[in-house]
Amino acid sequence: MSYRRHRIAARALILHEDRLLLVNAYPAGKSDLWCAPGGGLNPGQSIPDNLAREVMEETGLSIAVLAPAMVNEFHDPATGFHQIDLFFHARITGGALDPRWKDPEGIVTDRHFFARDDLASGRIRFKPDSLPAAAWDKTPLYDPLERIVR
């Protein structure tokens, strides 16, 4: 099998009133898996600028990018896809979640703030597994390579 280049993405860990903002990034709601907002990096643009752009597109929120929180890798052995996600703590600086909002790329279908207990109880599916620790604990993490989940 031939492998493709690594894809690098940035993701925001946004806590508001002790709840974590997650998005469902599957067109037409094909999956019930939730993740932190963010996406692929564009060449020639800094990681914080990329992340602020992605969060605005996916949620309608302006953010300040803060400290790094986690590096996570996932891959699909069948296709050779391999992504490296760089997670950063972030703070909302403007905007609000508006039910009329639409992701311009049509990828994110829903966004919601979840309590830590929502994640711990198994009420929602999310990735990566270490997401709660990265969001609420302040020690930077490395979450090793795992298979992609849809």
Identify whether the C-beta of residue 63 lies closer than 8 Å to the C-beta of residue 51: yes
pLDDT, position 23: 95
Task: For residue 78, tell me if it sits in a domain.
Answer: yes
Cβ atoms of 20 and 13 within 8 Å: the answer is yes
When comparing pLDDT for 90 and 107, which is higher? 90
Q: Is residue 25 part of a domain?
A: yes
Write the pLDDT tens digit of every residue in 1-16: 565 678 999 999 999 9
Distance CA 41, CA 21 (A): 20
Measured CA to CA, the distance from residue 72 to residue 44 in angstroms comes to 22
For the chain, what is the domain count? Answer: 1
Using a cut of 0.75, tell me whether the model's pTM lies above it: yes
**150 within a domain of the structure (yes/no):** no
- Provide mean pLDDT across the span 77-105: 91
Residue-level pLDDT at 3: 58
pLDDT tens column, 49-87: 999 999 999 999 999 999 999 999 988 888 888 999 999
Residue 121 lies in a domain: yes
Asked whether residue 18 is assigned to any structural domain, the reply reads yes
Report the share of the chain in percent with pLDDT over 90: 66
φ, ψ at 90 (rounded to 5°): -150, 155
In a domain, 1, yes or no: no
Contact in structure between 54 and 37 (CB atoms under 8 Å): yes
Average pLDDT, the chain: 91
Identify the pLDDT of residue 2. Answer: 61
HEC assignment per residue over the chain:
CCCCCCEEEEEEEEEECCEEEEEECCHHHCCCEEECCEEECCCCCCHHHHHHHHHHHHHCCEEEEEEEEEEEEEEECCCCEEEEEEEEEEEEEECCCCCCCCCCCCCCCEEEEEEHHHHHCCCCEECCCCHHHHHHCCCCEEEEEEECCC
Residue 130 is part of a domain; what is its CATH number? 3.90.79.10
Over residues 131-143, mean pLDDT: 93
Domain enclosing residue 69, as ranges = 7-94+102-137
46 within some domain: yes
Is 37 a domain residue? yes
- The pLDDT of residue 27 is 66
- Residue 114 token pair: 């979840």
